[in-house]
Amino acid sequence: MDLSQYLPVLMFLGVGTIIGIALLSLGTILGPRRPDAEKLTPYECGFGAFEDARMKFDVRYYLMAILFIVFDLEIAFIFPWAVVFRDLGLFGLIEMGLFLALLVIGFVYVWKKGALEWE
């Protein structure tokens, strides 16, 4: 494989990097620097903050986010499988059936444990 095929891509990345750095530098150099007490205050809908910004979140929030990612990523595996389904034949159908069965078992387990309940 000839590496000269990658030259346009490398040039594109180089020019994009140079433009990005140049624009950030120009904004830093030419931008106004006049902070006052009002600009340095924390902003929350036009009035002072109610609580500390480092408040703890409920663990169920993170659990729900992880479950969403796990069950949402199955589409990343199902779509390519559907594209080449005819080439895979019966073997591909059985493999996807096993994959979906494991997902359903996981879903039932999470459901029975009450992880989907939000109080």
CATH for 109: 1.20.58.1610
**Residues facing residue 44 across a β-bridge:** 47
What tokens does 87 get?
């080439």
- Three-state DSSP at 44 gives strand
Mean of the pLDDT values across residues 35-58?
69
Domain assignment present for 118: no
Domain assignment present for 18: yes
Q: Which domain holds residue 96?
A: 3-113
Domain assignment present for 119: no
Asked whether the predicted pLDDT for residue 42 surpasses 80, the reply is no
More confident residue, 89 or 14: 14
When the pLDDT of each residue in the chain is averaged and rounded to a whole number, the result is: 84
Nearest to 104 by CA among 71, 64, 63: 71
Asked whether the predicted pLDDT for residue 39 surpasses 90, the reply is no
| Single pTM value for the model | 0.48
29 alpha carbon, distance to own chain's centre: 33
Gap between the Cα atoms of 61 and 20, Å rounded = 36
Burial class of residue 103 in the structure, from the number of CB atoms within 10 Å of its CB (0-12 exposed, 13-18 middle, 19+ buried): middle
Q: How many domains does the chain have?
A: 1
